[in-house]
Amino acid sequence: MPKARLVRRSWKLDSQTKQELVSLFEATYNGTKPIEFSNGDTLECLHDGDETILGASCGGGEGQPRLGFGECCGECCGKVLPVK
């Protein structure tokens, strides 16, 4: 089994720049333009064994508290599982 890669990236909703696109699908233009990281690694899609960690927060503007929604993590397993 290939060794899982660590991919860490933050995206913001409603943005027009590539660095702030909301999904990996959008950021890679449907996997046709890989993202290049500062260490030279590239990513065009998730692969089996990759771990994903999703987190979200809102607020935090000037003088405002930031509300976090926690994290959800999982490993890409190469198959689509039915909804339970």
User: 9-40 pLDDT, tens per residue?
Assistant: 554 444 455 555 557 777 788 888 888 877 88
What is the structure's pLDDT at 84?
Answer: 65
Neighbours of 21 (CB within 10 A): 19
User: What are the domain boundaries of the chain?
Assistant: 18-75
Task: Calculate what percentage of the chain has a pLDDT beyond 90.
Answer: 0
Measured between alpha carbons, how far is 75 from 47 in angstroms, rounded to an integer?
9
Integer Cα distance of 46 and 24 in angstroms: 9
Q: Quick check: 53 pLDDT over 70? A: yes
SS (H, E, C) 47-69: CCCCEEEEEEEEECCCCCCEEEE
CA 40 to chain centre: 18
Task: Give pTM, 2 decimals.
Answer: 0.47
